[in-house]
Structure 1
Amino acid sequence: MVAVGSSSTEGTGASGPTMTYPAQLDQILEARFPGAKIDVVNKGIGGETAAGTLARLDRDVLALKPDLVIWQLGTNDALRNVDAKTFATQAVEGIERIRRSGADLLLLEPQFLPKQAGNATYAAYVDAVRALGAANGVPVFRRSAVMRYWLDHKQFTATTMLSGDQLHMTDASYHCLAELMANAIVPSAMPAVEPPSTNASAQAIKLLSGPTAVRNAEMPR
Structure 2
Amino acid sequence: MLGLLVLAGLLAAVPARAEDPARSCEVPPYLLTSESALPRVAAAVKADQKLDILVVGSRSSTINTAEAAAWPGRLEAVLREKLPAVKVNINVELQVKKTAEEVAASLSKLVAERKPTLVIWQTGTVDALRSIDPDDFRVGVDEGVAALQTAGTDAILMNLQYSPRTETMISVNPYLDNMRLVAQQHDVPLFDRFAVMRHWNEAGDFDLFSTSHGVDLAKRVHDCLGRALSMFLIDAAHIGPAQQN
- Shorter-chain TM range is 0.7 to 0.9
Range that drifts further, 36-45 or 175-184: 36-45
Structure 2 residue 204 is the aligned partner of structure 1 residue 145: no
Specify the alignment match of 2:40 in structure 1: none
> Relative to total residues, which structure has the larger strand share, 1 or 2?
2
- Shift in Å at residue 97 of structure 1? 0.6
Q: Please point out which of 137, 143, 147 is paired with 1:97.
A: 147
Change (3 A) 1:24 1:111: same
- Shift in Å at residue 157 of structure 1? 1.0
Structure 2 residue 228 is the aligned partner of structure 1 residue 180: yes
Q: Which residue identity is paired with 2:133? A: D
Q: Which residue identity is paired with 1:184? A: F
The question of whether the paired residues in 2 share the 8 Å contact of 1:25 and 1:179 is answered with: yes
Structure 2 residue 131 is the aligned partner of structure 1 residue 81: yes
Which whole-Å CA distance do the structure 1 matches of 2:59 and 2:227 have between them?
A: 19
Which whole-Å CA distance do the structure 1 matches of 2:237 and 2:192 have between them?
A: 12
Which whole-Å CA distance do the structure 2 matches of 1:40 and 1:53 have between them?
A: 19
- Consecutive aligned runs of 4 or more in structure 1 exceeding 6 Å deviation: none
Q: Which runs of 5+ in 2 are unaligned?
A: 1-52, 239-245
Specify the alignment match of 1:125 in structure 2: 175
Structure 2 residue 51 is the aligned partner of structure 1 residue 5: no
Specify the alignment match of 1:20 in structure 2: 70
The question of whether the paired residues in 2 share the 8 Å contact of 1:25 and 1:182 is answered with: yes
Summarize deviations over 1:44-93 as a string: whole Å, max 9, x none: 23323213312432333442111111000111101101122221111111
Q: Supply the RMSD in Å over aligned alpha carbons.
A: 2.4
Which whole-Å CA distance do the structure 2 matches of 1:159 and 1:83 have between them?
A: 27
The alignment's TM-score, normalised by the length of structure 2, stands at 0.68
Which whole-Å CA distance do the structure 2 matches of 1:62 and 1:176 have between them?
A: 31
Change (3 A) 1:55 1:100: closer
- Shift in Å at residue 191 of structure 1? 7.9
**Count, aligned residues:** 184
Q: Which residue identity is paired with 2:54? A: V
Which whole-Å CA distance do the structure 2 matches of 1:62 and 1:110 have between them?
A: 26
The question of whether the paired residues in 1 share the 8 Å contact of 2:157 and 2:190 is answered with: yes
Which whole-Å CA distance do the structure 1 matches of 2:212 and 2:155 have between them?
A: 28
- Shift in Å at residue 158 of structure 1? 1.6
Which whole-Å CA distance do the structure 2 matches of 1:47 and 1:172 have between them?
A: 25
Identity in percent: 28
Summarize deviations over 1:86-135 as a string: whole Å, max 9, x none: 21111111000100111111100111111222356222212221121122
Pick 1 or 2: higher relative contact order, CA cutoff 8 A, min separation 6: 2
The alignment's TM-score, normalised by the length of structure 1, stands at 0.75
Specify the alignment match of 1:64 in structure 2: 114
The question of whether the paired residues in 2 share the 8 Å contact of 1:8 and 1:44 is answered with: no
Give the secondary-structure state (helix, strand or coil) at the position aligned to 1:48: coil
